[in-house]
Amino acid sequence: MVRTPRGVVEYKGETKIERRSRNECADQDRFSVAGSVCGSLVPTRKMTDIVSGVPVTFIDNGMPVVAMAAASFGKTGYERVDELSKDTGLKARIETVRLEAGTRMVLGDVRHKVIPKMCFLAEARNGGAVTTRTFIPHDCHPSIGVFGAVPVATACVLSGKVAEAMAKAPAARNGAQRNLLAALGAVNVQIFEIGQLRPFLRSVQITTAYSSNSADVPGWTHTGDAGDALSRKAGPQCCGGTGTAKAGAGNQFVTLGGGFDSAGSEAWSQTVSGLTIGQSYVVSFLMAAEGETATQNTTLGITSGSLTPAETFTSLPTNTLFWQNWGPQQYTFVSTATAATLQFSVTNQQL
């Protein structure tokens, strides 16, 4: 979009373009490209992944990018481009992370691909939100392109991301701008943020180890098999008190599936309102396997209010009983109405 006062294109403005003597009028382009390559904004559904001991953020907002702190590689993020490109040891470490990123971001074997882009991040010293050095795929580039800048700016505003910890960004709000600095110039990105939904699980405080009463989970609707219980309390479960359950957050949680000896199919659903049609929302939740099997699955979908396909999530592996290993998950959907019904379900699964 460009300014056209009185039907005439306006060229003068406040936007600084590197190596130009005067400021120009901004040409504002808006992109809605979350998950355009990997299928979701956060391909692994985790706020931070660890690859070869390095905390990284996998993000796809128009371009698959791996965001990493330069300090994790013993760098400041302010090295010269040619210095970084000649550091063969550094590039070998980055390539190790990149190859693993290809697998985790559902890009396959990326040895002969230019994606994902690998981006070093460091705190900005002289203005801007964050300083970057981008490797595409092996050589460091002097600037950061638009489709590399958008996912990096997005990572700066998503809670828990590697970039958030070092980004000097404005308060998170729609339209907030992030100025990303590179070795040669800067790119200003204006982020219109997606909504964040955390399914609110409000439970009656049960006094026993578990409950089979769906009324103990108000605001949610239960259908299907009840299994051994519908909700559980952290603490001793059975076996003379030696079997102790752990909750992912708080001290209670709901379960899905049959019992210890049989499989079952069931669902929990909740309707959320106040949504904006056409906006993307991220549902964040925690899940764990009971431990009879190493992992368990649950499917999250929108039964009304969105056309986004359902996704099946797998818990973190465990070899210990009673929900010991909880992990975060995320599901992104686009609202087609002002209200949407979320449904967590399992089919023919043992507890």
**pLDDT value of position 183:** 56
**pLDDT value of position 189:** 52
The model's pLDDT over 67-95, given as tens digits with 9 standing for 90+, comes to: 999 999 999 999 999 999 999 999 999 99
**pLDDT value of position 88:** 96
Boundaries of CATH 3.10.310.10 in the chain?
31-193
Mean pLDDT, to the nearest integer, of 307-322?
87
The model's pLDDT over 6-50, given as tens digits with 9 standing for 90+, comes to: 777 666 666 555 545 565 555 555 555 777 788 778 888 777 899
Assign domain 31-193 to its CATH superfamily.
Answer: Diaminopimelate Epimerase; Chain A, domain 1 (3.10.310.10)
**pLDDT value of position 221:** 87
CA pair distance 188, 173, nearest whole angstrom: 16
Boundaries of CATH 2.60.120 in the chain?
197-350
- Which helix (H) or strand (E) segment holds residue 221: the answer is strand 221-224
**pLDDT value of position 176:** 47
CA pair distance 282, 296, nearest whole angstrom: 22
Beta bridge partners of 232: 210, 253
The mean predicted confidence, pLDDT, of the chain is 77
Mean pLDDT, to the nearest integer, of 58-63?
88
Share of the chain above pLDDT 70, in %: 74
| Cβ(40)–Cβ(12) below 8 Å | no
pLDDT beyond 70 at 175: no
CA pair distance 266, 283, nearest whole angstrom: 20
**pLDDT value of position 68:** 93
The model's pLDDT over 268-308, given as tens digits with 9 standing for 90+, comes to: 888 888 788 877 788 878 888 887 788 888 899 999 999 98
**pLDDT value of position 136:** 92
Given the structure tokens 């499917």, which residue do they identify? 299
The model's pLDDT over 227-270, given as tens digits with 9 standing for 90+, comes to: 777 777 777 666 554 567 776 666 778 887 776 667 778 888 88
Residue among 307, 266, 268, 302 at smallest CA distance from 283? 302
Q: Burial level of 35, CB count in 10 A (0-12/13-18/19+)?
A: middle
CA pair distance 20, 11, nearest whole angstrom: 13
The band of 203, judged by pLDDT with boundaries at 50, 70 and 90, is very low
DSSP string, 142-201: SS--HHHHHHHHHHHHSTT-TGGGT---PPS-TTEEEEEE-SS-EEEEEE-PPEEE----
**pLDDT value of position 84:** 95
Report the CATH number of the 197-350 domain: 2.60.120
pLDDT beyond 90 at 178: no
The model's pLDDT over 142-169, given as tens digits with 9 standing for 90+, comes to: 888 777 888 888 887 776 678 777 766 5
pLDDT beyond 60 at 170: no
**pLDDT value of position 226:** 78
Rounded to two decimals, what is the model's pTM? Answer: 0.52
Structure tokens at 89: 């040891």
DSSP three-state, residue 82: helix
The model's pLDDT over 98-108, given as tens digits with 9 standing for 90+, comes to: 999 999 998 99
CA pair distance 1, 13, nearest whole angstrom: 14
Residue 35 Rama label (left phi>0; alpha psi -120 to 50; beta): left
Query: What torsion, rounded to 10 degrees, do the Cα atoms 45, 46, 50, 56 define?
Result: 90
**pLDDT value of position 92:** 96
The band of 202, judged by pLDDT with boundaries at 50, 70 and 90, is very low
